[in-house]
Amino acid sequence: MSYPLRRRLWAAALILGFFVLWEVLCLALQVSDLILPRPSQILATLFSRMDVLWPHILQTLWTTMIGFALGVIVGVVIGALIGTSRIAYDTAYPLLIGFSSIPKVAVVPVLVLWFGAGPLPAVLTALAMCFFPIVVNIATGLASTEPELEDVLKSLGASKMDLLLNVGLPRTMPFFFASLKIAATFAFVGTVLAETVASNKGIGNVMMSASSNFDVPLVFAGLFILAFLGVALYVVFSLIETRFVGWANRKSDFAST
C-alpha cells in the first residue's frame, strides 16, 4: 500500500474512531443528552430537521461568501498598497495591527447599533475577520522580490507596472491562495459570531435559540453543520490553490501537467 493512501486511511480511521469513542463513552457512562448527545442522536436530529435547517445553512453560507468576497477585495487592495510602497507600509501598518487585534465580537454590537439586526452586520463581521490575513500575505509576497531580479528588469526599462504584472503578482499568488484558505474559515467564524449575537436567521441564530430551549442535540447539529461547511470551504480553496500555484510546491509530477 502506498504511503499517501495509508496516510489517508489513518486520518479517516482517526476521525471515525473519535466519533465511535464518543458514542461508546456516552453509552457506557450514561451521559444525559442534555449535556452531551451521542453522534447518532445528532445525525438523527440533523436529518429529521433538515427542512427547517436548510434555509439557515444557505443564509450562513451566502453571508459568509459575500463577507469573504468583500474581504478579499479590501485585503488585496490594502495589501498591494502597503506591499509596494514603503511609506504606505510604515504609515498604515500600526493602524491595521490595532484594528485587527480588536476582538471582533466586541464590534458586533456597534454594527448592530448602526445597521440593525440582520445580515448586514454579519457580512461586515465576516469581512472584518477575514481581510487581515490577506493583507499580510499579499504585502509579504510583494515585498519578497529579489533585488537582483528587480535590477535586471529595471535595466531593461521595466516600469513599476511591468514589475508588478510580471514578477510581483505571480510571486504573490502562493501567499494569496494560502491566505484564502485561512480567510475563508475566518469569514465563516465572523458570520456565525454576528448571527449568534444579533440576527434572526442563520446557523448561529439556530444554535442560540436551540441552546435557550435546551434543545441540545440541535445545538450539536449546528456545530456539525459548521464543521462540515468550514472543512468544505477549506477543501475548495485548497483545490483552487493546487490548480493555480502548483509551481510553488515543486512536485515532480507538476511539470507533466
Partner 1 sequence: MDIAESSIRPRDAVELSRASVAFGRGEAKVHALQPTDLRLAEGEFLALVGPSGCGKSTILKLASGLLRPSSGNVIVGGREVAARALRVGMAFQNPTLLPWLTIERNVMLPLKIVRPFRNEYRLKRKTEFRDRVHALLDDVGLSKFTNHYPWQLSGGMLQRANLCRALIHEPSLLLLDEPFGALDQFTREELWGTMQALWMKRRPTVMLVTHDLKEAGFLATRICVMSARPGRIIDDRPVEFPRPRTVEMTFMPDFVALNQRLRERIIDARSTQIAEVG
Report the chain's terminal Cα–Cα distance, integer Å.
25
Of these, 3, 157, 253, 257, which contacts partner 1 (CB under 8 A)? 157
Does 142 interact with partner 1 (rule: CB under 8 A)? no
DSSP annotation of 118 reads S
- Does position 153 interact with partner 1 (CB under 8 A)? The reply is yes
SS (H, E, C) 194-256: HHHHCCCCCHHHHHHHHHHCCCHHHHHHHHHHHHHHHHHHHHHHHHHHHHHHHHHHCCHHHCC
Binding to partner 1 by residue 5, rule CB under 8 A? no
Q: Which is nearer to partner 1, 5 or 250 (CB)?
A: 250
Q: Angle between the 119-143 and 86-100 helix axes, to the nearest 10 degrees?
A: 140
Q: Could you say which of 30, 156, 212, 257 contacts partner 1 (CB under 8 A)?
A: 156
- Judged by CB, which is closer to partner 1: 90, or 151? 151
Q: Identify residues 61-80 at the interface with partner 1 (CB under 8 A).
A: none
Q: Counting contacts by CB under 8 A, is residue 160 touching partner 1?
A: no
Question: Under rule CB under 8 A, how many of the chain's residues touch partner 1?
Answer: 23
Binds partner 1 (CB under 8 A): choice among 151, 160, 213, 227: 151
How far is CA 4 from each of CA 9, 10, 231, rounded to the nearest angstrom?
9, 10, 20
Q: Please list every residue from 173 through 202 that binds partner 1, using CB under 8 A.
A: 173
- Report which DSSP code applies to 117: S
Q: Count CA atoms within 13 Å of residue 141 on its CB side.
A: 25
Task: Decide if residue 255 touches partner 1 (CB under 8 A).
Answer: yes
Window 94-133: contact mask with partner 1 (x via CB under 8 A): ----------------------------------------
Find out whether 72 and 180 touch, Cβ atoms under 8 Å: yes
For residues 241 and 253, what is the distance between their CA atoms, to the nearest angstrom? 16
Q: Which residues sit at the interface with partner 1, rule CB under 8 A? A: 146, 148-149, 151-158, 162, 166-167, 170-171, 173, 245, 247-248, 250, 254-255
